[in-house]
Chain A
Amino acid sequence: MIAPVNPAPLLVARGVGKTFSNGVRALDGVDLTLREGDFLSLLGPSGCGKSTLLRIIAGLLSPTSGMLDWRGQMADPSLLGFVFQEPTLMPWATVFDNVWLPLRLKGVSRKAAAPAIGDLLERVHLTGFENAVPRELSGGMKMRVSIARSLVTKPRLLLMDEPFAALDEITRFKLNNDLLELWDDQKITVVFVTHSVFESVFLSHRVVVMAARPGRIFQEVAVDAPYPRDETFRTSPEYAALCRSTSDVLADAMRAGAADAA
Chain B
Amino acid sequence: MKTICLYFEIHQIIHLKRYRFFDIGTDHYYYDDYENERSITDIAERSYMPALNTLLEMIKANDKYFKVAFSLSGVGIEQLEMHAPQVLEKLQQLNETGCVEFLAEPYSHGLASLINEESFAREVKKQCEKITEYFGQKPKVLRNSSLIYSDDIGLQVSQMGFKGMLTEGAKHVLGWKSPHYVYNCALAPNLKLLLRDVTLSDDISLRFNNSDWDGYPLFADNYINKIAAFPEEEQVFNIFMELSALGIAQPLSSNILDFINALPACAKAKGITFSTPTEICMKMKSVSALDVPDTLSWVDEERDVSCWLGNPMQREAFNKLYSVADRVRIANDPRINQDWDYLQASNNFRFMTTKPSNIGLDRGIYSSPFDAFTNYMNILGDFINRVNSLYPEDIDNDELNGLLTTIKNQGDEIEMKEKEILRLQTKIEKMQASEDKLKAKVEKAKAPAAKKAPAKKVDATEPSK
Q: Indicate, yes or no, whether A interacts with B.
A: no
Chain B residues close to A by CB (< 8 Å)? none
Chain A residues close to B by CB (< 8 Å)? none
